[in-house]
Structure 1
Amino acid sequence: MDLLEHFQDAKRDPLRRLLAEKSAWFSQDKKGFLRYRLPLRSVQDLRASSCDFSGDVVRIGTADDLSADDHARVHQILRGLMPWRKGPFSVFGIDIDAEWRSERKWNRLVPELPALAGKMVADIGCNNGYYMFRMAPYQPTMVLGFEPYVHHYYTFNILNTFAQQPNLRAEPLGIEHLALFPECFDVIFCLGILYHRPSPLEALRDLHSALRPGGILLVESQAIAGNDPVALFPAHTYAKVPGTWFVPTATCLHNWLTRTGFTEVRLFCDHAMSSAEQRRTAWMEFESYQDFIDKDNPALTIEGYPAPRRVFFKAKK
């Protein structure tokens, strides 16, 4: 089904033009695109006999679904999609231990989930779709993943080629494109995104405008400890990440939410980060949390800033 058929209130002509531009851009015969497009094309005929999204591991198919040659080919393709940031997955019996133990974040969200059955849902910055697959058993009408990065966009599409979940879809869009979806979503997940935005208030306004009246926002963010309504603005990097702008306290983020129009704003989880949750693995071989923190003082980042916490809010339009 055409995406626009799901969104009668969307700004249809600008959205159609944008999606056409994105499609043309992704269709370029450049190495950075072919690296992902050719593997996707090569597995179009492979299907999982069953899927299980109810547990911590997103399970897509079993080893018995594939011939030995196809299994080896899929393993090579999955390794070519490294680094795996979100997970864990089991794909045709191939276990993928991602950098983030994303089931921990999901399990913190579960007690606060609004009803998703029959709802239009957005996952902003959906990455490889781990959280989208975890939403699938709740029977939403659609989960639309916004994912502007070529690597993550194609990883989700390869996984969903196997899984064939018709109510899950990703598009190469960013949070800045929410303005094309006025009052289109019943629930929006915005997990690990705000501190990457140079204007978090503008991002929150876009999230607010994309929700239908009475809609629910679930937002999770990196944060610093403290009760004062302030945000850290790093000079260059924060925990070695250059694309980090404002890192708020929970109080500051609460104020951002209320001042951008949200009601019933509630902090429901606040915890310190650790290498038990984000770490280097055989499927993500680069630096991870333990490399971002001062080895002599784990209360500080490598730059000397307060070490990160994670905070979770639920808010209503």
Structure 2
Amino acid sequence: MNSNISLAEQWFRSFYQTIANTDLSPWLQVLPAQLADWQKNQHGDFAKWQRLLAKFPSTEPSVVELAEAVRFGNATDISDYQQKQIEGLLRQFMPWRKGPFFVHDIHVDTEWRSDWKWDRVSPHIDSLAGKKVLDVGCGSGYHMWRMLAQQPELVVGVDPTALFLIQFQAIKKFNPDPRIHFLPVGGEDIPTLKAFDTTFCMGVLYHRRSPVDFLHQLRSHLKPGGQLVLETLVVEGDATTVLMPGERYAQMRNVWFIPSTAALTVWLERCGFKNIRVADIDQTSTDEQRSTDWMTGQSLADFLDPTNPNLTVEGYPAPLRATLIAEA
């Protein structure tokens, strides 16, 4: 591509070309301006991160594994020097929160065992083969790679966090599949397209001040009959139970509403979703979310009551996560 434009602009232009002649093309009426605005206000380290990305050596991974893990290549594909070089560059993009990834036998041991969540969710979703898939709040893109194993037509992840975009592109260096794209925008920035077959939204809803409006937005991305896969924090209770925590929940500042699964079902019904079912409920363990050599800050163990792991340090119920499936 043109060396006079930034890496980010190359990524975005590739997506524009991908959707130009599809039912996603109306997005092009607003997306370039949104991304241009995002670049004007990007993270202070973003230019440095792009320069670091350009330093990755070109490799030819002998293994591309997505069905059981996200694994590209073996150590035997490259020299010891290249392996150390790749690991050193990947560590420049810490903290790594969602994963794990395996790149030429380098284990990016992320804070979250996102593979455990995928193993709980994936048995309950419709096949993604040949479909257009959206992941709202995709983080560094771990689940998008797992989705790609099912041979969808297209996987698009959106998340405004610059570091997540860089982490995604670092992993994509080792599998530049043209069907998978990351855009640094929010789910609320996507116009009404009604063009995706499946929309995933995992770990986002409780960060929204107006969760019902957000559910309406998620529905607007889906084709009629399209499937929503919604994973979020919940509490025990009936259809009227919703926890609105104080300033912090498990030391997170921006947690607004945590409903029961019954209340969340009502919200989804009010937004026009149908065939709603609870696919999974699981209390997050300190084995699933923890500090690692690739995320050295505090993690779940620091956010729970040291005398009672069923409570947060603030005294709220410990994180309980549910996955609900619904149709637009």
TM class by smaller structure: over 0.9
Does 1:21 find its partner at 2:33?
A: no
Does 1:272 find its partner at 2:283?
A: yes
| 2:294 equivalent in structure 1 | 283
Unmatched tracts of structure 1, length 5 or more: none
Contact 2:137-2:158 within 8 A present in 1 as well: yes
Contact 1:176-1:206 within 8 A present in 2 as well: yes
| 2:318 equivalent in structure 1 | 307
Q: 1:188 to 1:48 in 2, by over 3 A?
A: same
Paired amino acid for 1:98: T
In the TM superposition, residue 312 of structure 1 has moved relative to its aligned partner by 0.7
| 1:99 equivalent in structure 2 | 111
Q: SS of the counterpart of 1:155?
A: helix
TM-score (norm 1): 0.93
| 2:172 equivalent in structure 1 | 160
The 5 Å alignment of 1:101-180 reads 101-178=113-190, 180=191
Q: Distance in 1 between matches of 2:279 and 2:44?
A: 44
Contact 1:9-1:184 within 8 A present in 2 as well: no
Paired amino acid for 2:114: S
Deviations 1:75-128, CA, capped at 9 Å, x for gaps: 111112211111121111101221111111111112112121111000111111
Paired amino acid for 1:105: K
| 2:211 equivalent in structure 1 | 200
In the TM superposition, residue 172 of structure 1 has moved relative to its aligned partner by 0.5
Paired amino acid for 1:65: D
Does 1:242 find its partner at 2:253?
A: yes
Deviations 1:25-60, CA, capped at 9 Å, x for gaps: 55xxx74213421111222734433311121x3101
Q: Distance in 2 between matches of 1:184 and 1:269?
A: 27
Q: Distance in 2 between matches of 1:43 and 1:286?
A: 26
RMSD, aligned α-carbons = 1.7
Deviations 1:190-219, CA, capped at 9 Å, x for gaps: 000100111111110000011001100000
Does 1:48 find its partner at 2:94?
A: no
Deviations 1:147-174, CA, capped at 9 Å, x for gaps: 2101111100110121112111101111
In the TM superposition, residue 24 of structure 1 has moved relative to its aligned partner by 4.9
Q: Distance in 2 between matches of 1:256 and 1:35?
A: 43
Paired amino acid for 1:79: R
TM-score (norm 2): 0.90
Does 1:4 find its partner at 2:16?
A: no
Q: SS of the counterpart of 2:312?
A: coil
Contact 1:61-1:163 within 8 A present in 2 as well: no
| 2:220 equivalent in structure 1 | 209
Q: 1:73 to 1:311 in 2, by over 3 A?
A: same
| 2:75 equivalent in structure 1 | 63
Unmatched tracts of structure 2, length 5 or more: 1-13
